[in-house]
Amino acid sequence: MSAETLCIDSLYRDHSRRVQATLIRLLGDFELAEEAMQDAFVAAVQQWPTSGEPDNPTAWLIRTGYHCGIDQIRQRSTARRRAHLLLPADEALEIDDAAIEDDALRLLFTCCHPSLSMEARIALTLREMCGLATEQVASALLMKPTTLAQRIVRAKRKIRDARIPYAVPAQEELPERLPDVLQVVYLVFNEGYSRSSGASVVDISLTREALRLGEELARLLPRGEVFGLMALMRLSDARRDARQDSTGELVTLDAQDRRLWHQEDISTGITWLEQALALSPTGYYTLQASIAAVHAQANNAEQTDWGRIVRLYDALCRRFPSPILALNRAVAIAMNGAPATGLQLLDDISHHPQLSRYHLFHAAKADLLRRLGKREAARGAYQQALLLTTLGPEKRFLLRRLTELEQLT
């Protein structure tokens, strides 16, 4: 492979997403923009080895891709409908670096538009923002490639038919729209950090893409909750190598070897958190990051400040009430020296439909019952959790817990 090819490969990895984001704006069509981007890189492979790399490769690729797209429009029956895109032959396309940066933000907000289903938002973000192939997205989301492809096609069609604007919301709309974008980025991260099913707890490719998206969002839109999300993801990701042992078995937080936690990531996460806390109001992700920071700053499980964690969950539950947060708060109270109280709180929320189908609710209840010596009830709760989980390492962990109970009787 030549040095020029290596350079182009690197450029594709680093800049193809930016090139495509701008081409979507210029050409007004997702599919056409992707075809034009591919044509631009083919042209680069053919021309750069003899002409040399241009001073601004990204601008060259955008300009070349744009003209490839215009050529396709001229050849299609859509030329009349898109006549507004056709520049006079002697008119040069001006490429503005600031506009290129804004295009990435425009694309992210378009992919995360609230009129799309959450599943479509995640799939579209991974495909268009992260540049993953359809097969890669399907594998990450545990779907058939054909099903995933149909979902993406329907999402793009809805963007076109509903005339969803390719734009960053106005300042007055940001407080309403930004949470949707942050939620999608966090869901991408969470699917990588704690897989919903499969053979491995962690999918590093997804967590890295979520972190890259978060960093880009923080650079283009520096706001407190964006910083808070970055802090939460960094502090959580710092534990990645301790969450499974050498044989692939799940290791719970209290049993993890904290020497395996990445201190550089923890330091980076704390810095993000400090930036978030300096801005008000303190939001959902910043409070969650504050909890992650308490864990990260404890040298061992016994030194964890569970009292502070309870207070942070109190604040979360007051401002953002949800059954999952109520579950986490109950566990924190139990860990703070009151397992019976924690168990009662779990019983109080057990009627919620979301929790009845959530394996971690039953696993948490089983653990508290086990600690309180209620082995028969613990066995039933572990069995219920086992029925609901689809992740291999979690299944094996629950089976080990059941075996341990059997050995105690």
Span 344-373, pLDDT tens digits: 999 999 999 889 989 999 999 999 999 999
Distance between CA atoms of residues 246 and 241, nearest Å: 10
Write the pLDDT tens digit of every residue in 49-72.
Answer: 888 888 888 899 999 999 999 988
Residue at which a domain ends, from 95, 120, 155: 95
Write the pLDDT tens digit of every residue in 13-31.
Answer: 777 888 999 999 999 888 8
For residue 32, is pLDDT > 70?
A: yes
Looking at every residue in the chain, the average pLDDT score rounds to: 88
Q: What is the separation, in whole angstroms, between the first and last Cα of the chain?
A: 65
Distance between CA atoms of residues 238 and 215, nearest Å: 16
Nearest to 96 by CA among 6, 38, 18: 18
36 neighbors 69 (Cβ within 8 angstroms):
yes
Q: Is the dihedral of CA 290, 296, 301, 303 positive or negative?
A: negative
275 neighbors 294 (Cβ within 8 angstroms):
no
Identify the three-state secondary structure at position 391: strand
Please give the share of the chain, as a percent, with pLDDT higher than 70: 91
pLDDT of residue 173: 87
Token pair 């040298």: residue: 299
Count Cβ atoms within 10 A of the Cβ of residue 73 and give its class: 0-12 exposed, 13-18 middle, 19 or more buried.
buried
pLDDT of residue 134: 84
What confidence category does residue 341 fall into, taking pLDDT thresholds of 50, 70 and 90? very high
Residue at which a domain ends, from 45, 74, 95: 95
Higher pLDDT: 78 or 20? It is 20
pLDDT of residue 89: 44
Alpha helices (H) in 76-111, listed in sequence order = 97-111
State yes or no: cis peptide before 353, omega within 30 of 0: no
pLDDT of residue 188: 86
pTM metric for this prediction: 0.81
Identify the three-state secondary structure at position 87: coil
pLDDT of residue 390: 82
Write the pLDDT tens digit of every residue in 170-220.
Answer: 888 888 889 999 999 998 898 788 765 566 667 777 888 889 889 989 988
Quick check: is 139 in a domain?
no
Distance between CA atoms of residues 162 and 28, nearest Å: 14
DSSP letter for each residue of 216-246: HHHHHS--HHHHHHHHHHHHHHTTGGGSB-T
Quick check: is 47 in a domain?
yes
**Number of domain units in the chain:** 2
Quick check: is 304 in a domain?
no
Q: How is residue 198 written in tokens?
A: 């499969």
351-356: list long-range contacts, CB under 8 Å, 24+ apart: 352/323, 354/323, 354/324, 355/323, 355/324, 355/327
Nearest to 275 by CA among 261, 262, 289: 289
Identify the three-state secondary structure at position 102: helix
Return the number of other C-beta atoms located less than 10 Å from residue 132's C-beta.
19
36 neighbors 16 (Cβ within 8 angstroms):
no
For residues 117-123, give the mean pLDDT.
90
pLDDT of residue 10: 73
* Domain residue limits at 391: 357-409
Quick check: is 88 in a domain?
yes
Write the pLDDT tens digit of every residue in 276-333.
Answer: 999 978 999 999 999 999 999 999 999 999 999 999 999 999 999 999 999 999 999 9
343 neighbors 378 (Cβ within 8 angstroms):
no
pLDDT of residue 87: 53
Distance between CA atoms of residues 235 and 303, nearest Å: 17
Q: How is residue 324 written in tokens?
A: 């999952």
Identify the three-state secondary structure at position 304: coil
pLDDT of residue 90: 43
For residue 81, is pLDDT > 50?
A: yes
Quick check: is 125 in a domain?
no
pLDDT of residue 225: 95
Quick check: is 398 in a domain?
yes
354 neighbors 367 (Cβ within 8 angstroms):
no
Residue at which a domain ends, from 95, 123, 139: 95
* Phi, psi (rounded to 5 degrees) for 198: 115, -165
For residue 96, is pLDDT > 80?
A: no
Quick check: is 102 in a domain?
no
Quick check: is 142 in a domain?
no
Higher pLDDT: 403 or 98? It is 403
Rg over CA atoms, the chain: 25
Please give the share of the chain, as a percent, with pLDDT higher than 90: 56
DSSP code, position 91: P
CA dihedral 204, 147, 112, 132 (to 10 degrees): 40
For residues 136-148, give the mean pLDDT.
82
